[in-house]
Amino acid sequence: MMIVMKEDATKEQIDSIVKRVESTGAHAHVSEGELLTVIGAIGDRERIANLDLTGVDGVDRVVPITKPYKLASNEFKHGIPSVIEIDGRRVGGGNFSLMAGPCTVESREQLLTTAEAVKQGGASMLRGGAYKPRTSPYSFQGLGGEGLRLLREAKDQTGLPIVTELMDQRDLDQVLEVADVVQIGARSMQNYSLLAELGRAGRPVLLKRGLSATLEELLMAAEYILKEGNEDVILCERGIRTFETATRFTLDIMAVPVLKQMSHLPVVVDPSHAAGRRDLVLPLSLAAAAAGADGIIVEVHYNPETAICDGPQAVPADDFAEYAEQVQRVAAIVGNELSAL
């Protein structure tokens, strides 16, 4: 249920509604807009309805949220897109983000060279994994703490905010020391205790869609983060499992406009993992930008032939500036402007 307060509602009136909502055992989520305050009451629907808040002092109207995802739903924000602030860059609401970098941090030279190239090409943020969710336990698992240290160095050198993956709750504090955006990989999308922990940590989260997750399941996963008070969630379509074997996964381009109908949260697209092939990364990126995505997260490597992980899908660092220019041009057509410093 959403309680929309009147524009001239006083703090006392807002506090009193919050208390009444909480008296039913529900959670009251207060969002203060420029003009008015909205209180999201999340809990037992009947008990909240029984409070009969319509007509109470300061209350303008009471609106039910019909979807199972509440805080993530468009109803909750009256259809106004959320804008997430990341170290001076903005994601969503007409701001287009290019998050670029290697699949995994391999070495100082690899990371710093690639980071410099994506910076020069206009990237908004640097991506790179220190903890890697590999299908085989015998594959390279990431540099761990050393990878995080190198990411810190790349951030100091380029000024680019860092997007890096967290897989295990035990690494949270270390990851928070360097991550401006914590990536939750497709395989962890339904690790609900990890999501709740990130909700409490308060750092922006890039939440990837599970390999076989529906859009509703993705939004329910986002809800775990939002429910703990962290409003900064970026959704990511990264390709899903279908019967098609010509590509690594199948990019669900419809996810972009459909998620935007369902939710106020920004939506970015990962063309690299969807395609698994470098030749498809540009066309998929252009399609994503044209579909209204709020950004792209793309793998870039200074020497893809030698990449330890995901080389075949990496855009060579030398080609990044040209790639970025083409993607930006299409994003601009649908009203999204690159957000970089």
| Residue partners of 162: CB distance under 8 A and separation at least 6 | 125, 126, 127, 128, 151, 152, 154, 155, 178, 179, 180, 181
User: CB-wise, 92 or 185, nearer to ligand PEP?
Assistant: 185
- The least CB distance from residue 183 to Mn ion, in Å, is 11
Q: CA quadruple 115, 120, 121, 124: dihedral positive or negative?
A: positive
- Contact partner at residue 238 from ligand PEP, Mn ion, none, CB < 5 to 8 Å by partner kind: ligand PEP
Q: Which is nearer to ligand PEP, 185 or 199 (CB)?
A: 185
The site partner of 119 among ligand PEP, Mn ion, none (C-beta below 5 to 8 Å per kind) is none
Choosing from 40, 121, 129, 199, the residue that interacts with ligand PEP (CB under 6 A) is 129
Q: Tell me how far, at minimum, the Cβ of 314 lies from Mn ion, in Å.
A: 8
- Residues 330 and 96 sit within 8 Å (Cβ to Cβ): no
CB within 8 Å of 52: residues ≥ 6 apart = none
Q: Which residue, 103 or 175, is less far from Mn ion as judged by CB?
A: 103
Query: Using an 8 Å Cβ cutoff, are 198 and 230 in contact?
Result: yes
Are 91 and 84 in contact by the 8 Å Cβ rule? The answer is yes
Residue 189 has what DSSP assignment? T
Structure tokens at 42: 């999340």
| Shortest distance, position 210 Cβ to ligand PEP, whole Å | 9
Query: Which one among 3, 154, 160, 186 touches ligand PEP, defined by CB under 6 A?
Result: 186
Closest residue by beta carbon to ligand PEP: 185
Q: Which does 40 bind (CB under 5 to 8 A by kind): ligand PEP, Mn ion, none?
A: none
Q: Does 238 bind ligand PEP (CB under 6 A)?
A: yes
- What is d(CA 56, CA 20) in angstroms, rounded to the nearest whole number? 11
Taking the least distance from each CB to Mn ion, the nearer of 103 and 293 is: 103
- Kindly state the tokens that stand for 58: 């300061």
Given the rule CB under 6 A, which of 49-57, 71-79, 170-178, 184-192 is the region that contacts ligand PEP?
184-192
CA gyration radius, the chain: 21
Least distance in Å: CB of 307 to ligand PEP? 12
Is 103 a binding residue for Mn ion by CB under 5 A? The answer is yes
Selected from 185, 266, 271, 295, the binder of ligand PEP by CB under 6 A is 185
Pairing of strands 233-237, 205-208: parallel
Binding site for Mn ion (CB under 5 A): 103, 310
